[in-house]
Structure 1
């Protein structure tokens, strides 16, 4: 019997608001994976909620090396390493150490270079952290930036990033580092009423687009949801094109379902009732 793919998820945890680890764990479990959390930070609520003096942020940097060391002593191996939001500049070196400890020729490394959105870096991300994220992403097999993060990785102004089909294809090729890594660029819209992703597959050299109907709302955490579905699909041995299409379709289904329920946008999408869609290839 084949074992469940084991994924090291190097992510933050938010107590309120569906994003990062609280999305990644159930999605990858539904897709047949065993997700092993390596938390980077604990937040009482995700950062899209209004600032509050009672909000908490616990930096977990001090626990990461010890956790990795214990896992190494246990002889644990990983089929994939999946990192996202990082809480401090010191965590970049810890993840690179993690690669040296656990990465083999068969380990799939996905970096979601979480740095910003809507044209601006997040307030916790310094220029040095953005530079280090670029260095970390250079070691990935697959990256899943949004348009803001793509501009940061390319060293371009967000406003100058092309939005037309040919321009996006050129950006994908540049982001691939001459074909060394696959890229799935989220937040792409080629025509009104549609949104999705552009992709470059390093195994085939193919570029393409995976689009879905655009719903009339933007929810936090949908990038984590999308990237998790992409990774789960790839770990089933399916193509990057199939992974991108499935991710775009599932996010659209979840957004439409949540809008029908009328729950607060800041709480994220109600993906839980739809996890059954992911349980079969």
Structure 2
């Protein structure tokens, strides 16, 4: 009997707008992985481009869910965390990792804190500091350049953009080779973007690049981390997983822009989920 691998996905859920759990659940499912959501918050919409959104903090419910799962002796091939709704949740997620981690569990922390050099409006300096401590428990982290600056305590504007400088960033983020890093938004040539990856298992640093699409698209970081997590669970190397994620995002972003869809609603990925199953998708 083949058991479908499970991933505990600790993220917020927005009722409208493609991000977090509304990305992670379908993506992981398409990749043949059972997604077990542990919501950190429920929002009426995501926070990018929308005003007046509601925000329901799920902090008090999270330990109850974890306790019930523990009583059921649930195990997970991966634990994958993203956007957190309060400072207290950082400790709750850390406890979850300690309680459910096994020797073969992959812990992926997407240190969601901000973009374009700015922290998200719900994140305080204390939360950013706590996220850095949580990321120390990860096997793999997937920061963008803004989050890399926060994790390293650097000025975002002073981060290097050349290949050698980006290599130094990912290697420093690896905590002396103790964790793998997939740095998103890394561009090594004009018109290109992708990820620079340090693999703690091999000690190698590799880059994955694709054509840059010059439009502000929401949810691409969640797509990247979700595809990466699913691919890692299915046995891919870090560079292979990052490559699959970058290619999928590019296809979805190109489709979204070509159809002139509202950008604040997120990347139109659903019609292309077949690309993750090997059966193709409509374009």
Assess same fold via TM > 0.5.
yes
Cα deviation 1:236-269 (Å, max 9, x = unaligned)? 1111111111111110000001112221000111
Q: Trace 1:207-218 onto structure 2 (pairs within 5 A).
A: 207-218=205-216
* Alignment-derived partner of residue 263 in structure 1: 261
* Counterpart-to-counterpart distance in 2, 1:228 and 1:50: 23
What secondary structure sits across from 1:76 in the alignment? Answer: coil
CA distance in 2, matches of 1:65, 1:50: 30
Alignment-derived partner of residue 91 in structure 1: 89
Secondary structure at the aligned position of 1:218 is classed as coil
- Segments of 5+ residues of structure 2 without an aligned counterpart are none
Query: How far off its partner does 1:211 sit?
Result: 0.5
Q: Does 1:65 align with 2:63?
A: yes
Match of 1:206 in 2: 204
CA distance in 2, matches of 1:20, 1:67: 19
**C-alpha distance in 2 between matches for 1:81 and 1:68:** 12
Corresponding residue number in structure 1 for 2:195 = 197
Structure 2 counterpart of 1:123: 121
TM-score scaled by structure 2? 0.97
Q: Distance in 2 between matches of 1:238 and 1:2?
A: 18
What's the CA shift for 1:165? 0.1
TM-score (norm 1): 0.97
How far apart are the structure 2 equivalents of 1:217 and 1:184?
22
Secondary structure of the corresponding residue to residue 277 of structure 1: helix
Matches of 2:122 and 2:143, distance apart in 1: 17
Q: CA RMSD in A?
A: 1.0
Measured after TM superposition, the shift of residue 216 of structure 1 is 2.7
Equivalent residue of 1:168, what SS?
helix
Task: Specify every segment of 5 or more residues in structure 1 that has no aligned partner in the other structure, as ranges.
Answer: none
Q: Which residue of 2 aligns with 1:139?
A: 137
Q: Which residue matches 1:186? A: 184
Counterpart CA distance in 1 for 2:259 and 2:4 is 33
Q: Secondary structure at the match of 1:43?
A: strand
1:50, CA displacement in angstroms? 3.2
Cα distance per residue 1:52-110 (max 9 Å; x no partner): 2xx21000001100001111111111111000000001101111111222111111000
Give, in whole Å, the separation in 2 of the partners of 1:261 and 1:235. Answer: 33
SS in 1 for 2:189: coil
Matched length: 279
Distance 2:258 2:19 in 1: 20
